[in-house]
Amino acid sequence: MAHQHDESTANEVSTSVQLPSYDPPQEPRVYKVGCPPQKNLAREFADTLRERFFHDNPLGQYKDQSGSAKFMMVLRFLFPIFEWGRSYNLSKFKGDLIAGLTIASLCIPQDIGYSKLANLDAQYGLYSSFVPPLIYAAMGSSKDIAIGPVAVVSLLIGSLLQNEVDPVKNKEEYLRLAFTATFFAGITQAALGFLRLGFLIEFLSHAAIVGFMGGAAITIALQQLKYVLGIRSFTKKTDIISVMHSVWSSAHHGWNWQTIVIGITFLAFLLFAKYIGKKNRKFFWVPAIAPITSVILATLFVYITRADKQGVQIVNHIKKGINPSSIHKIYFTGPFVAKGFKIGVICGMIGLTEAVAIGRMFAALKDYQLDGNKEMVALGTMNIAGSMTSCYIATGSFSRSAVNYMAGCQTPVSNIIMSAAVLLTLLVITPLFKYTPNAILGSIIISAVIGLVDYEAAILIWKVDKMDFIACMGAFFGVVFASVEIGLLIAVSISFAKILLQVTRPRTVLLGNLPGTLIYRNTDQYPEARHVPGVVMVRVDSAIYFSNSNYVRERILRWLTEEEERAKAEGQSKINFLIIEMSPVIDIDTSGIHTLENLYKNLQKRDIQLILANPGSIVIEKLLSSKLTEHLGSNNIFLTVSDAVRFCTRKSMQEP
């Protein structure tokens, strides 16, 4: 009975549940290449614009929201502090407090030194670590970036400004031009963010940046020899030959041994502190507080021994008080406007590149998203405000950001803490820096920029891409042996040259069949890939534009000639078909279509049939619009290379 019951239950299940049917394998179905639906001009333009500039759909979150909700969302978008501030608590403040005080101890002596790189009085470096960090804390989206002057931008703006105005003879004009350049740097950065043109900074390749930063680091370090050796008369040029000539020519009468002792001793101390911090992350605070400790000890030593009477150069005086307004000092008319604009754009782009790269790196470490365009707006706004409050260009500092990260910062409040410490310094402590020797500031800068010489990255670049290595070394030697601006020009030129080379000389490869499969791959990468008798298969790994269309045609014909010669030498059948694999061809213009048409006519004269495989939606749409498909024949356009080869093989077998 139980058995009958189970059987009846099984029958009920079988009648109530329809099992999927199984079809035996058949001949592979051949699909034709599809064409996307036609769009009108306005729709096509709008879609292209949205994809190019608004690919992240920034307005999507505002859909179906009330007016008040949209206002608050816009407010939080422009000022992220209203977003993360809602969940701020005492625990986060403790982390930010420690991090802020730690980076303040690092930034104060660095700011005084960096202002010398920019040929400005010491207080302007401190000013630039007071106002800009406050604005960034409200508008920036990075939790880890520490804002302030940096060595490379300080050197760059100093060298560019002194080419226009003498910082000693025309001090006031020099200062006004510095504020003007800072204003236009901020305008440039904010405009790139608002217009969503951040991709422009990507044209400066990573390899070029590595070389530029390394060369700038060596140039900055060499510039500090005048402070470490106590040389009073020093060249204004930055190339290594001029600097070393200036150093050795003053060896007999210009060096001060007391200054050398101070400089070398504290440089060794700073490097040892960095070594300790690098060996054990628990001691990250050692290299962070080493600069301010060195300043305190060196200042006490000079004050007690009165070494300044023995020729040791000291800071002398740092103006006390907070940032005065400088709106009236910015050039809005006159011949200096164009000069300030040019310098501001260059320095703004470099500062932006450094800050965005640093922000993205730490965002990846903490696994959160960083809005590049929002960062640009924040950096630009803080520099615009900074130009009006006696600041010069500020950006994200790698050394301070690393310390900020390791000190356990939670939010941008660490920048506010640092700014408060700088404010206290400006109001109370600046007179204590009177006896600070310039040698210790030079030592601090040397120890700070050594890390910018990333030889490990240069070795990796050499292993990965020789063209990138040329860009890296070109930027490096340009900075070291010429000037910062020449090195930057070389870096940009080589980066553009690489892009042009890749665009005008795209890669084309010969394809072969992997035995036992329907897969066709590059014969150089897969030597076992077999040639198909009577068929040449070529893949074009680039869009076909006016800049490369002639090269693509000539290179394909050369592949065809080489294969014809090989087939003749091996006694194989004549080449009757040329298949172009077009899946990597993301776009084609009228010159590219004209090239395909000429190639088709050329092949007709040689009794060779042209076949296209897997053109993309944009490509096939343009081929149809140009009516090239009517010349080629729609039957000669296939979805895959294997379909095309099957067609060629069958047609060859049908021919007598």
Per-residue pLDDT of 537-565, as tens digits, reads 999 999 999 999 999 999 999 999 999 99
Q: Which residue has the higher pLDDT, 28 or 271?
A: 271
Residue 422 has pLDDT above 80, yes or no: yes
- Give 214's contacts (C-beta < 8 A, 6+ positions apart): 452, 453, 454, 455, 458, 476
- Confidence band of 378 (pLDDT split at 50, 70, 90): very high
CA nearest to 623, candidates 36, 134, 11: 36
The side-by-side arrangement of strands in the sheet containing 535-540 is: 520-522, 508-513, 535-540, 577-581, 609-613, 637-638
pLDDT reported for residue 64: 66
Residue reference for tokens 């709008």: 46
What phi and psi values does residue 397 have, to the nearest 5 degrees?
-100, 130
Predicted confidence (pLDDT) at residue 2 exceeds the cutoff of 60 = no
57 pLDDT band, cuts 50/70/90, is low
Q: Answer whether residue 640 shows pLDDT above 60.
A: yes
pLDDT at 377: 94
pLDDT confidence band for 655 (50 / 70 / 90) = low
- Report the pLDDT value the prediction gives residue 653, as an integer from 0 to 100: 81
Model confidence, pTM: 0.81
Q: Give the chain's mean pLDDT.
A: 89
Q: What is the DSSP string of 140-202?
A: ---SS-EEE--HHHHHHHHHHHHTTS-TTTTHHHHHHHHHHHHHHHHHHHHHHHHTT-GGGGG
Which pair of structure tokens corresponds to residue 326? 């400088």
Q: Each residue of 294-312: pLDDT tens digit? A: 999 999 999 999 999 998 9
Question: Given pLDDT bands bounded at 50, 70 and 90, which one contains residue 366?
Answer: confident
Q: What 3-state class would DSSP assign to 40? A: coil
Has residue 22 got a pLDDT over 50? no
Q: How confident is the model at residue 24 (pLDDT cuts 50, 70, 90)?
A: very low
CATH code for the structural domain at 506-652? 3.30.750.24
Query: Looking at per-residue confidence, does 496 or 169 come out higher?
Result: 169
Q: Which of 20-34, 281-295, 392-406 has the lowest mean pLDDT?
A: 20-34
Mean pLDDT over 361-370 rounds to 85
- In this structure, are residues 491 and 212 in contact, taking their beta carbons and an 8 Å threshold? yes
Rounded Cα distance between 432 and 411, Å, is: 32
Query: From CA 224, how far away is CA 218, in angstroms rounded?
Result: 10
pLDDT at 85 over 60: yes
Lowest-pLDDT range of 50-54, 177-181, 240-244? 50-54
Least confident interval from 6-10, 247-251, 267-271, 296-300: 6-10
The CATH 3.30.750.24 domain(s) of the chain lie at 506-652
